[in-house]
């Protein structure tokens, strides 16, 4: 697929990106690499984004115990 470069850049068709919500763009030599970011991976930065209330009083101290134990 060839795309026309305009003054604004290049528009990538949504059909190539699927249901992705985020991509990472890197440049190496004469290539531009677009990588789809997988948002399903849990990250330490995601902790606290959707807090819930519960009866556990030590969740902030023992969060690994509650996340990784069945």
Among 15, 9, 14, CA closest to 32: 9
CA angle (7, 12, 15) in 5-degree steps: 155
State the pLDDT at residue 70. Answer: 67
- The tens place of each residue's pLDDT in the chain, 70 residues long, gives 899 999 999 999 999 998 888 899 999 999 999 998 876 666 777 777 777 778 888 878 888 888 887 6
| Model pTM above 0.75 | no
State the pLDDT at residue 33. Answer: 94
State the pLDDT at residue 45. Answer: 77
Domain boundaries, the chain: 14-68
- Rounded Cα distance, 12 and 1, in Å: 10
């Amino acid at each position: 697929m060839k795309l026309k470069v305009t003054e604004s850049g290049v528009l990538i068709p949504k059909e190539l990106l699927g249901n992705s919500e985020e991509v990472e763009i890197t440049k190496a030599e004469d290539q531009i690499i677009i990588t789809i970011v997988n948002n399903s991976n849990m990250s330490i930065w995601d902790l606290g984004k959707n807090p819930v209330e519960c009866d556990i009083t030590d969740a902030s101290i023992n969060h690994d115990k509650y996340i990784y134990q069945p």
